[in-house]
Amino acid sequence: MQQQLANIVSEASSAAPAIKTRPEFEVFKAGLVGSKGSMTAVMKLMGSIPKEEKPAMGKLINEAKQKLEAIFAETLARIEDAELAAKLGEPIDPSLPSPDDFAGMRHPLSQIREEVCGIFHRLGFTIAEGPELETEWFCFDALNTPANHPARDMQDTLFLPADTKATDAPKKADEAYLLRSHTSSVQIRTMLSRKPPIRIVAPGRCFRRDTVDATHSANFHQIEGLWIDKNVTLKDLKSVLDSFVREVFGNAAETRLRPSFFPFTEPSFEMDIRVPNMGALSNRWLEIMGCGLVDPKVLENVGLDANEWSGLAFGMGIERIAMLVHGIDDIRHFYANDLRFLRQFA
Ligand code: PHE
């Protein structure tokens, strides 16, 4: 009987590799453990063997059954793999790239930044940059923003601890470091580092102590513009910004300059646009940026003679432009890293 069991197992294991399909497997399995199977026949003999031999035989039978189960499992797994491979048309190669072939894309804010900078580039502006960590002087004083201005309040701006050390923006001993609340500090850095005429746009990250909601984010992005030359006038401001607006929002877009106030421009305006075909926002005046002529005080602060030089400046939020262009109703979508949102701009 022991010999019979050994034969059954070794025959099964040498027959198994030839089994290629499920019906073949079923026949094979039935021939061993089915009602007329060879293993079943051996098990039936248990009834007729002497009592004292039963435990030893039981053990042998169990071992043989376990070996058969392992052969069945292995054979079935091989058949299933082959079935799957046949469905796919070829064997599975786990080293292949994911069948999801999405190759990545620029973030919608980067797309708008590049589009806007590209438009100004064609109008003769080059790109300038400045640090996100600024000193009070670059962010406020040099921009003619007095000590009692609300932007200088702890409630509006993110100041850094007094012992902060930063090498890219050296400060005076009694000055504070802050995360820049606007990109206008790059106006000052640029005017100090090059001679006019100057025509730059400065894209970058800005920070304010805003409570996050659908239209506010403590971290957002702006594009600053500065043009310093002789006899820069309001006509230049209007024509540069009008060309920009028409390129982004189409030729049917109207613009208006609405009087406003910024400490570093005089006169100052908000530019509004009105576009006929912009979904729910159609035909409504929408604010898109602050702008104006550079205040003579600012020119003096950077050592330029205000009688000789003049300028225009503007600053817009990249998020705001992107929300208008794409009809996005919540600024938080930009930062959630949800591919279902982002892929719409691929
Ligand atoms: N810095 C201003 C702001 O953050 C925008 C601005 C830039 C206004 C340049 C005028 C000129 O709101």
Sketch the domain layout of the chain as residue ranges. Answer: 2-88, 108-345
Distance (Å) from CA 290 to ligand 1 centroid:
5
Q: Determine whether the shortest distance from the Cβ of 334 to ligand 1 is under 6 A.
A: no
CA-CA distance, 45 to 241, in Å (whole number)?
99
Nearest Cα residue to 114 out of 275, 322, 329, 274: 322
The token pair that represents 265 in the structure block: 């421009």
pTM score: 0.72
**pLDDT, averaged across the chain:** 93
Tokens 């200088």, located at residue: 152
Nearest Cα residue to 12 out of 32, 34, 26, 37: 32
Q: What are the tens digits of pLDDT across the range 277-334?
A: 898 899 999 999 999 999 999 999 999 999 999 999 999 999 999 999 999 999 999 9
pLDDT at 260 over 90: yes
Residue 37 burial (CB count, 10 A): 17
Q: How far is CA 186 from CA 26, 72, 112, 123, 315, in A?
A: 78, 74, 20, 19, 11
CATH T-level assignment (fold) for domain 108-345: BirA Bifunctional Protein; domain 2 (3.30.930)
Residue 221 pLDDT class (50, 70, 90 cuts) = very high
Query: Strand 310-317's sheet: what is its strand order?
Result: 126-127, 198-207, 219-229, 310-317, 286-294, 265-274, 254-262
Q: Determine whether the shortest distance from the Cβ of 189 to ligand 1 is under 6 A.
A: no
Q: Whose CA is nearest to atom 7 of ligand 1?
A: 315
Q: Determine whether the shortest distance from the Cβ of 291 to ligand 1 is under 6 A.
A: yes
Nearest Cα residue to 23 out of 85, 76, 90, 88: 76
Distance (Å) from CA 314 to ligand 1 centroid:
6
Q: Determine whether the shortest distance from the Cβ of 204 to ligand 1 is under 6 A.
A: no
Q: Determine whether the shortest distance from the Cβ of 316 to ligand 1 is under 6 A.
A: no
Q: Whose CA is nearest to atom 4 of ligand 1?
A: 182
Average pLDDT on 250-274 reads: 97
Closest approach atom of ligand 1 to CA 182: 4
pLDDT at 202 over 80: yes
Share of the chain above pLDDT 90, in %: 77
Share of the chain above pLDDT 70, in %: 100
Residue 136 pLDDT class (50, 70, 90 cuts) = very high
What residues pair up with 273 in beta bridges, in sequence order? 255, 286
Strand segments (E) across the chain: 126-127, 133-135, 177-179, 198-207, 219-229, 254-262, 265-274, 286-294, 310-317
